[in-house]
Amino acid sequence: MLISHVIPAHNSSTTILRTLESVFRWPVPTDWQVEAIVVDDGSDDALELAYIVEQFTAAQLVVHKTNRGMCAGRNSGIAASRGDIVSILDSDDELVVKWPSVMEKILQEWPAKVNICYAACQNTKFQITSQEPDYKGLLSLNDLLNERHSGEYIPLFRGEYIRQKPYIDLNMRKSCGIVSYINFALDGPFWITPQVLRIYHDDRVASVSAAWTTPNKARETAECYKNLFDRFAFLYIREAPKIYRTKLLRYAVYLKFSGLKGAWRTWFRGASLSCVKESLGVAVILVLGQKFGGAIAKMAKQIGLIRRYG
């Protein structure tokens, strides 16, 4: 059994050591091997990153000369992997203490015919980052579209599957993972396990999820929503019409925060009595604009009025 940990990295020399140490610190069963594939995605600190990776004999470095974005980094790492199981880690996160024993439990429960497993995460405050921390079972396409069992997970793949069908690369820095995961779910359900495998450092200023209301990050998220609707609006309309409307409302917020046109037009498309609270809340944010509306949105996320993960 070979476990491959794929780690896209952009300007991550200050955090990657902790990540790699968490991968290689713990002994694994005698019939296991572990490898890490770090993808330098056009980093400014490429020399420092390479020096750190060289300290780990079972780690290899794949280099992008320019910054191609998170999905491109994941796909390059996946292509270089050899593992029976492939996990996707962020370069500022880490695996939990004695993660091989957790992985053993996951492999025992993960159905053999299911290609993808979502394993639970916790943040640095030991909070589980999923909506239903105790849920164990299948996640269908309909569940995914309707945002059931949602949250922040670490994705684990059967190696043969993900090397044949990698992430959809939209040529943006963020992953826009929902587009790829719907594409994966068209092939069959995922497995969700409550076994905690990853520590998610979402409190870092430079983390992927930080500063989500700023114009640059909002613009990328708006582009993600546009791609999502272009590809899969028909699925949402058929399988999850209420979620489709709430996603249009979120899209309107990101259009407003990014300074792009069409925020109110998109709001009118999404507003409905079926999601009246969301419709009114987004209207207030649009009236207040990026500065004040963004402050309210961040506060709502912190106190749980807006879902924090997933």
Lowest mean pLDDT among 21-30, 147-156, 171-180, 257-266: 171-180
Helical spans, DSSP H, in the chain: 16-24, 46-54, 70-80, 99-109, 141-145, 159-164, 177-185, 215-239, 241-258, 263-270, 276-302
The residues that bridge with 156 in the sheet, in sequence order, are 87, 117
pLDDT of 86 higher than 60: yes
Lowest mean pLDDT among 153-157, 243-247, 273-277: 273-277
Confidence of residue 305 (pLDDT cuts 50, 70, 90): very low
DSSP character string of 284-297 = HHHHHHHHHHHHHH
Distance of CA 289 to the CA centre of its chain: 27
The proportion of the chain whose per-residue pLDDT surpasses 90, expressed as a percent, equals 83
pLDDT of 110 higher than 70: yes
Residue owning tokens 């249009």: 248
Distance in angstroms (rounded) separating the CA atoms of residues 8 and 70: 7
The proportion of the chain whose per-residue pLDDT surpasses 70, expressed as a percent, equals 91
- CA pseudo-torsion sign 224, 230, 231, 232: positive
Lowest mean pLDDT among 59-73, 220-234, 237-251, 285-299: 285-299
Which of 162, 197, 153 shows the shortest CA–CA distance to 84? 162
The tokens of 222 are what?
A: 């708006």
Residue owning tokens 């470095």: 61
The whole-number pLDDT of residue 152 equals 94
Distance in angstroms (rounded) separating the CA atoms of residues 30 and 83: 16
**Helix 177-185 × helix 215-239 angle, to 10°:** 20
Mean local confidence (pLDDT), 155-162: 98
The whole-number pLDDT of residue 303 equals 39
The whole-number pLDDT of residue 19 equals 98
Mean local confidence (pLDDT), 208-235: 87
CATH for 2-200, options being 3.90.550.10, 3.40.50.10890, 3.40.109.10, 3.40.50.150: 3.90.550.10
For residue range 4-23, list pLDDT tens digits in order.
999 999 999 999 999 999 99
Confidence of residue 301 (pLDDT cuts 50, 70, 90): low
Instruction: Compute the C-alpha angle 204/208/214, nearest 5°.
Output: 95
User: Which amino acid is located at 112 in the chain?
Assistant: A
Distance in angstroms (rounded) separating the CA atoms of residues 95 and 87: 11
The whole-number pLDDT of residue 75 equals 98
Average pLDDT for the chain:
92
Judged by DSSP in three states, 13 sits in: coil
Return the domain boundaries, the chain: 2-200, 215-302
The whole-number pLDDT of residue 252 equals 96
pLDDT of 209 higher than 90: no
Yes or no: say if 10 and 47 are a contact pair by the CB < 8 Å rule.
Answer: no
